[in-house]
Amino acid sequence: MRNTDRYLVLVTASCGTKKVVGVGGRINGGAGDVVLDQVVPSFDLASVTVRAVAVQSTAPAGWNATSFALCAMPRRD
């Protein structure tokens, strides 16, 4: 999922039938005027969402964000 505008980007990486065991995010471009302010796994551990925001009083062009989810099958005891 990608929701992009000039000041705010939300990107979600999904694990399908697996569960999130690690998370990460990256800003691509932005010339130092963008911050990665949230990296949040979903409650059911099926996905992770990254939120990136442009620094106040800036208008960076041509930037986006990437969300990473490390996924694994749940262990069955």
Domain boundaries, the chain: 2-72
Retrieve residue 64's tokens: 């986006």
Angle (nearest 5°) at CA 48 between 47 and 49: 125
Quote the pLDDT of residue 61: 86
Quote the pLDDT of residue 7: 87
Q: What is the mean pLDDT of each run of 10 residues along the chain (77 residues)?
A: 71 97 96 95 98 89 94 88
Quote the pLDDT of residue 16: 96
Phi, psi torsion values for 17, nearest 5 degrees = -85, -5
Q: Which residue has the tokens 């471009």?
A: 29
Angle (nearest 5°) at CA 8 between 5 and 10: 95
Quote the pLDDT of residue 20: 98
Q: Which residue has the tokens 């990256």?
A: 26
